[in-house]
Amino acid sequence: MKNELIKAVVVALITLPGIAQADSIQQFLEASTVTGNIRSYYFNQLYSGSALPNKYAYSLGGMLKVQTAPLFGVSAGVAFYTANSLGANDVNAPGYTHLDALLMGENDALNGLGQAYLQYQNLWLRVRVGDQLINTPWMNPSDAFMIPSTFQAVTAQVTPIQNVQIIGIRAFRFKNRLQAGYHRETLLNQNPLYPNMPNTMNGALAFGVKDHWQSLKSAAWFYQFYGLANLFYGTVHYSVPGLPDGIKPFADLQYVREWANGAQYAGPVNATVYGGMAGMQTPYGQVFAAYDQMPSRAPFSVGGRSLYNGGFISPYTQQYSADPLYTSVMDYGLVSASASGHAWKFGLVVHPLRQLRVKYSYSIYDTAPYLPNVDANYLDVTYTPGGFWRGISLRNRLAIDHSNPYAGYHGVFIDDRLMLQYTFS
């Protein structure tokens, strides 16, 4: 019902004459925008030297979004998402033997209205109500598959002075990237560690402050995941300006503190994470080294497994390894492992050609004896030809891990994801 009302308001905003922030209906329509993308994705999971069956998945789809021009500061947006396997996936075999369910789940097709919101905006305030993308460290779109995660929420952003932003969020329902509709669940409902997680969660409340002053950037966030935990997250970034040859050293720090609240459906969470990153930016790219530590705490049992990491949870990123820890990679990290320990990550980002971006990292996750130690190689190559082919990009992400628990064995696990995308506006 709510989506139908918002769509009706969109139509009204487009058709009402004479009162828009434009001199004519034609100008009003020209000030509105239509954007979107077409994606083709191919996933492979290969189990080297193992009897486990290799898995794959293919999908073709995209997004179409209409954003109206403002009417006295009020506008509306609607975005439709679709994904289809075109019959290429192994969805009929018992147990989905060869299906990589990360891409589309166990579906032949996914279609849904991911965004449908009303928005008010002026020079210092933006308020948005409805189905929308949220882009914060621990609640974000996780947009690395076919369809991003979206939220039914009220969000507000205030810019009281230049370079300072204050954000408030109240999210009520969640649609992860494998669902067609919204639910009162989180990603923990799909995590086998939490078999008794209710499907009537009350969402989340979040507040954030971001500041940028010369070469110093900082941010502080507070999240209340109702019935689960409270989380504080702070970051500081500093870069050294003015050095010759475009060289710019930088350093980052992050701190996370999480503690249980309400019904404590995920257990008596009591966790801390410390992290740091240092590197150097040059005209040719970037090199960096990162470290994160999740100290061991008194264990408690969840889902039949003892957790020594304070029971750290991330309800909207954990299954997707989409958290902001410096050492997380495409398919692994300390948060997704749900184990205490520490991690190192060494990497570089280079642009050998203007159209080519190459990122490589090597990570070590030392979580023994709670989980086997994991090491991961990650290669991310993106080609954007530009010019006549503007809007087209080809991206391949390759992870080669050893002892990744997601793989179900202690050999070499290869996870390869190839995307061809065309974006338009």
| pLDDT tens digits for range 238-256 | 999 878 888 999 999 999 9
Question: 161 and 123 in contact (C-beta within 8 Å)?
Answer: no
Instruction: Identify the three-state secondary structure at position 30.
Output: helix
Taking the C-alpha atoms of residue 116 and residue 3, their distance in angstroms, rounded to an integer, is 6
Residue 160 in tokens: 């009281």
Looking only at Cα atoms, what is the longest distance across the chain? 70
Taking the C-alpha atoms of residue 145 and residue 55, their distance in angstroms, rounded to an integer, is 16
Q: Tell me whether the omega of the peptide bond preceding residue 198 falls within 30 degrees of 0, making it cis.
A: no
Residue 291 region by backbone torsions, left for phi larger than 0, else alpha for psi between -120 and 50, else beta? beta
Put simply, whether the predicted model's pTM sits higher than 0.75 gets the answer yes
Q: Which residues, at least 6 apart from 269, have a Cβ–Cβ distance to it below 8 Å?
A: 228, 229, 258, 259, 260, 310, 311, 312, 313
∠ CA 376-381-387 to the nearest 5 degrees? Answer: 165
Q: How confident is the model at residue 90 (pLDDT cuts 50, 70, 90)?
A: confident
Question: Which residues is 57 bridged to in the sheet?
Answer: 43
Taking the C-alpha atoms of residue 160 and residue 174, their distance in angstroms, rounded to an integer, is 30
Residue 164 in tokens: 């300072």
| pLDDT tens digits for range 374-406 | 999 999 999 999 999 999 999 999 999 887 766
Q: Which percentage of the chain shows pLDDT scores above 70? A: 93
Q: What is the mean pLDDT of the chain?
A: 91
Residue 185 has pLDDT above 90, yes or no: yes
Query: Tokens 């080669």 label which residue?
Result: 400
Question: Which residues is 332 bridged to in the sheet?
Answer: 329
Question: 101 and 57 in contact (C-beta within 8 Å)?
Answer: yes
Stretch 26-34: mean pLDDT: 81
Taking the C-alpha atoms of residue 15 and residue 180, their distance in angstroms, rounded to an integer, is 30
| pLDDT tens digits for range 205-231 | 999 999 999 999 999 999 999 999 999
| pLDDT tens digits for range 334-346 | 999 999 999 999 9
| pLDDT score recorded for residue 10 | 47
